[in-house]
Amino acid sequence: MNILFIGDIVGRPGRETVKGLLPSLKKEFALDFVIANVENAAGGSGITLATANELFSYGIDVFTSGDHIFKKREALSIINEEPRLLRPANFPLATPGRGAGQFITKTGGSVVLINLLGRVFMEARECPFRIVKEEIDKNKAKVIIVDFHAEATSEKVAMGWYLDGLVSAVLGTHTHIQTADEKILPYGTAYITDVGMTGPQRSVIGRKIESVLARFITQIEHRFEVANEDLQLQGVVLNIDEDTGKAKSIIRIQRSLNS
């Protein structure tokens, strides 16, 4: 089974990048399933019904998210009605939506996707290490993909070792900076600390450089607009043995639009 995971899609530039590059990636890697983190897809923060439908139309099968998922209030209603949009499973029980789901690929295979939020340097949530074990027990499957949306490298690495052999892949998101540590752990779990960002690379993690610099230099609030230069799709392609759930390979992807 070949699965593409697309790193955090940022605003309209990120959506246009997916539109332009996903068709060729599907052919190149004979993809069975496509996942994308979309918590920044609408205006650089959050998701709306229009942006969700747009991205579904480009060929993404399921969305994960993170701490910004409810920045657009519209998401509160969307997430209850759209099972293909996940929010972190370790949000409070009363939070709308779901943090995990089982999905069928175009070839009839089964994939369980679990979305988690880190706690280091982020707002406190339920323990992701405890919650992920509960979700694994509830969603029995061979192929299980975990999107761990976290800030701290140490927390992501720890989650990889914690789940080695229990899931097919632990994929870090949130920092928008792709790491070069993709690997297969000893018991067959694919791992990368951060899959990266889809959108403008000539930026500060997706925002216009000038406004971010002004904030750092003056310590005065500035509006952070989404940048729009040097558009790139970043992510990973996983090849997973459907019989065992173990990862056979993980390939890091960096593709530029109109290059």
Q: Mind telling me the catalytic residues?
A: 68
In sequence order, what are the residues at sequence separation of 6 or more whose Cβ sits closer than 8 angstroms to the Cβ of residue 19? 58
**How far are the Cα atoms of 29, 38, 149, 171, 227 from residue 202, in angstroms, in the given order?**
27, 20, 23, 24, 7
**How far are the Cα atoms of 47, 133, 182, 231 from residue 144, in angstroms, in the given order?**
24, 12, 17, 30
Any idea which residue has 């593409």 for tokens? 4
> Residue 65 is encoded by which pair of tokens?
């998210």
- Residue 190, classified by CB atoms within 10 Å of its CB into exposed (0-12), middle (13-18) or buried (19+), is buried
